[in-house]
Amino acid sequence: MARILFNFYLAIDGIVANKLRAFLTALGIIFGVAAVVAMLAIGSGAQKAIMEQMKLIGSNSIIIKSITDDEGESDDDNEEEKRKWSPGLTMDDLATINHTLPTIDMSGGEIKSRESLIANGKQSKVTVLGIEPTFFELNNLSIGEGSNFSETHMVNGNAVCVIGKNIHSKYFQGEFAIGEKIKVENNWLTIIGIVEKRIAKRENLEKLGLQDYNSNVYIPIKTSLLRFQDRSKVESKDISRRSNRFTGAHNYHQLDRAVFRIDDESNLQATAEVIGKILERKHNSIKDYEIEIPELLIQQQQKTQETFNVVLAVIAGISLLVGGIGIMNIMLASVLERIREIGIRRSIGAQKTDIILQFLFEAVFICFLGGLAGVILGIVTAKLIANSADIPTVISWWSIVLSFGVASLVGLVFGLFPAKRASEYDPIIALRSN
More confident call, 273 vs 414: 273
pLDDT number for residue 76: 46
Which of 331, 333, 336, 346 has its CA nearest to residue 413?
A: 331
Rounded percentage of the chain residues whose pLDDT exceeds 70: 79
Cα–Cα dist 170/182, whole Å: 13
Instruction: Give the pLDDT mean for 154-181.
Output: 90
Higher pLDDT residue, 102 or 431? 102
What residues pair up with 187 in beta bridges, in sequence order? 184
Is-contact 328 422, C-beta < 8 A?
Answer: no
Q: Is residue 32 within 8 Å of 316, Cβ to Cβ?
A: yes
pLDDT of residue 277: 93
- Contact indicator for 182, 171 with CB cutoff of 8 Å: yes
146 vs 350, more confident? 146
Which letter does DSSP use for residue 78 in this model? G
The mean pLDDT of the chain is 79
Comparing 429 with 247, the larger pLDDT belongs to: 429
What is the reported pLDDT for 250? 73
What would the pLDDT profile of 12-43 be if each residue is shown by its tens digit? 777 777 778 778 777 877 887 888 888 888 77
pLDDT digits (tens, 9 = 90+) for 189-246: 999 999 988 765 555 555 555 667 888 999 999 999 999 988 877 665 555 555 554 4
Are the C-beta atoms of residues 400 and 38 closer than 8 Å to each other? no
CA dihedral 260, 261, 265, 267 (to 10 degrees): -50
Is the pLDDT score of 100 beyond 80?
A: yes
In eight-state DSSP terms, residue 66 is: E
Which of 113-117, 139-143, 242-246, 330-334 is least confident?
A: 242-246
pLDDT score at 275: 93
- The pTM of this model reads 0.60
DSSP string, 349-418: T--HHHHHHHHHHHHHHHHHHHHHHHHHHHHHHHHHHHHHS-------HHHHHHHHHHHHHHHHHHHHHH
Q: What is the pLDDT of residue 203?
A: 55
| Confidence band for 184, pLDDT divided at 50, 70 and 90 | very high
State how far the alpha carbon of 68 is from the alpha carbons of 78, 93, 256, 344, in Å.
Answer: 16, 17, 9, 89
Mean pLDDT of the 387-397 span: 75
